[in-house]
Amino acid sequence: MPRLAVDRSTLPLVNAFECLECGNPRGLLPEVCPYCGSAQPPFAHTDFATINLERGLPVVEDALQRLDTFIRAGFDAGLKWLLVLHGYGSSGQGGRIRLAVRADLAANRWAERVREAYPGEAVANPSDLNLARSGSRDGLFPYLVSRRLVGNAGVTILLMHTRRA
């Protein structure tokens, strides 16, 4: 059955990503569409996505592997921003996942995909993220405010490189 052309600008966002092959809503991850099995990156109706590295209480190595997959998928989908929720840790000095993520970013582990990294505690207003320079729509900072991520040391905000065709 042929797919009808729909003006998506008038529709509410039901899901931020959709499969390019079958048109079904899907997430950024898993990297394969659960409906048709397509391995193409999904079409993104948004400029950003969020991952919670603390979910499931992983060890540091597993959290970094999940982050690596997330960064690759976000880059392939053409996202401009990735929000990494890693928590601060209960030690008062920062948790192991947070420290590992920031150390890997400082060592340029994802330099071919990540343009800049902003520690959440250093973000107090939109100008701290250079939103105008990124070409991002206006939804990122209100999202950060609504989720209480502004000034939050348990998050790192990644500005992605532009994907080359």
What's the pLDDT tens digit per position in 107-155? 999 999 999 999 999 998 888 887 655 555 557 888 888 888 899 999 9
What domains can be seen in the chain, in order of their start residue? Answer: 1-45 (no CATH), 46-160 (3.30.1370.110)
What's the pLDDT tens digit per position in 4-28? 444 443 333 457 899 999 999 998 9
User: What is the chain's length?
Assistant: 165
pTM: 0.83
Residue with tokens 């991002």: 136
* Other CB atoms within 10 Å distance of the CB of residue 145: 12
Alpha helices in the chain (DSSP H): 60-76, 96-106, 131-134, 140-146
CA distance 154 to 141: 16
CA distance 151 to 165: 35
Q: Show Cβ contacts of residue 129 under 8 Å, excluding neighbours closer than 6 positions.
A: 118, 123, 140, 141, 157, 159
